[in-house]
């Protein structure tokens, strides 16, 4: 029996895209949005926008309450100990930059910042540039053929000079879960701070901050079916105290005169200026929507789709997967076919997939590739989407080979 997503109808864009002849298989780049989010954004703007944490008037009170409710919802989603452990940012990238500046004072010349070979530019460049500013060193954990960080190598590379470990939970290119428990354990044994880039991981499965045990966890709203322009940083209570303030402006300050100022603690001290209010409220509504769904059923559906994707790719000759993807996505190259040519012909046929380096140039160089094609799934995808992709793939390859 063909696989249908029972949640597809909750995402109006899917029907619109389908009517336009577009098959959306690029959810790892950004996800489509549920009606619940669209209603929340529309409701906020229709019923009266107001700034948060400032004025006493009623619209402001309503906006502030909705904004702070969203913080509670994110905290609950991540099973954080307390809502004050959640800082809203303008994206996952900004959250990682916040960390790279906020923790800069803890990094000294000769210290080591450990990342992995598969990091997205967003979890590489902030650390690379921090290392440059402080004359520190970036250590890169190698990955094995399946795309997992090599634990034996990590045991050797995470050492007494390691001040910080920053790794992805789920690779945006290789689609495999990383051995976080072991890596975090290795880092903590050396007294290092730990940062987990959950931009992809948070979309596929629920994760519990109290048991994960990292100091910081970063997520992006727009990949989690929420609005863009919003990210969240989870910081363990005592870890947040290590952060120095980095952006300065309205509402993050306690007292100010012309020459000096004192700042709020997290979270407000790290939310300078007017935050993305509508986006945060929208993220809250998205989490409400997601929380009402059957997590097990979603996991099963996504896994069944992923199995079909891998099986279809395996059936076709000359296709090589990057790593051994476990969930959500698969990246591949085709022997004798340039990824740009394939991308071009898939686009011509209305297949929305990604072709290129996927914001992970060092990983691509490491794999000896200049690019790959990535198919990524959302909970709203059906088997018919994959069928259309495979039909288009066959047509494209027939032309190119």
Catalytic amino acids? 359
Question: Is residue 356 near other proteins by the rule CB under 8 A?
Answer: yes
Question: Is residue 378 near other proteins by the rule CB under 8 A?
Answer: no
Of these, 341, 361, 366, 369, which contacts other proteins (CB under 8 A)?
Answer: 341
Of these, 62, 137, 161, 338, which contacts other proteins (CB under 8 A)?
Answer: 338
Question: Is residue 84 near other proteins by the rule CB under 8 A?
Answer: no
Residue 23 β-bridge partners:
351
Of these, 116, 178, 355, 381, which contacts other proteins (CB under 8 A)?
Answer: 355
361/367 Cα distance (integer angstroms)? 10
Percent helix, strand, coil in the chain, to 5, is: 45, 15, 40
Question: Is residue 388 near other proteins by the rule CB under 8 A?
Answer: no
Of the pair 39, 341, the CB lying nearest other proteins is at 341
The enclosing H or E element of 79 equals: none
CB hemisphere CA count around 229 (13 angstroms): 10
C-alpha closest to that of 316 among 230, 214, 393, 217: 393
Of these, 204, 223, 339, 388, which contacts other proteins (CB under 8 A)?
Answer: 339
Least Å distance between CB 340 and other proteins? Answer: 4
Size of the site for other proteins (CB under 8 A): 17
Of these, 262, 307, 348, 391, which contacts other proteins (CB under 8 A)?
Answer: 348
Q: Which stretch binds other proteins (CB under 8 A): 63-71, 104-112, 179-187, 347-355?
A: 347-355
Dihedral sign, CA of 123, 70, 303, 351?
negative
- Phi/psi at 325 (5° precision): -60, 140
Of the pair 96, 173, the CB lying nearest other proteins is at 173
Q: For residue 393, what are the contacts with CB-CB under 8 A and spacing of at least 6?
A: 316, 342, 346, 351
Asked if 174 and 147 count as a contact pair (C-beta separation under 8 A), the reply is yes
Of the pair 179, 356, the CB lying nearest other proteins is at 356
Query: Which residues contact other proteins by CB under 8 A?
Result: 338-341, 343-345, 348-349, 355-357, 370-371, 395, 399-400
């Amino acid at each position: 029996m063909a696989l249908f997503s029972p949640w597809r109808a909750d995402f109006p864009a899917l029907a619109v895209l389908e009517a336009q002849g577009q098959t959306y298989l690029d959810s790892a780049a950004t996800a489509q949005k549920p009606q619940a989010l669209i209603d929340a954004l529309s409701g906020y703007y229709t019923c009266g926008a107001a700034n948060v944490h400032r004025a006493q008037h009623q619209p402001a009170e309503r906006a502030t309450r909705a904004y702070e409710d969203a913080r509670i919802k994110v905290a609950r989603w991540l099973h954080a100990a307390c809502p004050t452990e959640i800082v809203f940012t303008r994206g996952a990238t900004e959250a990682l930059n916040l960390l790279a500046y906020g923790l800069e004072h803890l990094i000294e010349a000769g210290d080591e910042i450990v990342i992995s070979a598969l990091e997205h530019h967003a979890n590489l460049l902030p650390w690379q540039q921090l290392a440059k500013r402080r004359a520190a060193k970036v250590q890169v954990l190698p990955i094995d053929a399946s795309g997992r960080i090599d634990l034996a190598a990590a045991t050797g590379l995470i050492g007494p000079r390691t001040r910080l470990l920053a790794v992805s939970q789920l690779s945006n290119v290789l689609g495999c879960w990383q051995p976080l428990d072991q890596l975090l354990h290795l880092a903590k044994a050396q007294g290092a701070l730990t940062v987990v880039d959950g931009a992809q991981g948070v979309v596929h499965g629920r994760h519990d901050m109290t048991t994960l045990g990292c100091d910081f966890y970063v997520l992006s709203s727009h990949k989690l079916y929420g609005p863009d322009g919003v990210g969240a940083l989870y910081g363990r209570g005592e870890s947040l105290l290590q952060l120095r303030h980095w952006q300065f402006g309205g509402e993050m300050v306690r007292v100010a005169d012309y020459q000096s100022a004192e700042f709020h603690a997290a979270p407000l001290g790290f939310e300078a200026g007017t935050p993305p209010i509508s986006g945060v409220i929208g993220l809250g509504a998205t989490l409400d929507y997601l929380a009402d769904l059957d997590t097990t059923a979603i996991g099963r559906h996504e896994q069944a789709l992923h199995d079909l994707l891998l099986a279809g790719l395996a059936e076709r000759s000359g296709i090589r997967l990057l790593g051994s993807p476990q969930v959500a996505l698969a990246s591949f190259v085709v022997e004798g076919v340039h990824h740009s040519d394939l991308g071009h012909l898939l686009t011509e046929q209305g297949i929305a997939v990604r072709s290129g380096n996927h914001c992970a140039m060092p990983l691509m160089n490491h794999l000896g590739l200049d690019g790959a094609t990535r198919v990524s799934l959302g909970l709203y995808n059906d088997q018919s989407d994959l069928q259309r992709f495979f039909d288009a793939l066959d047509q494209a390859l027939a032309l190119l080979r």
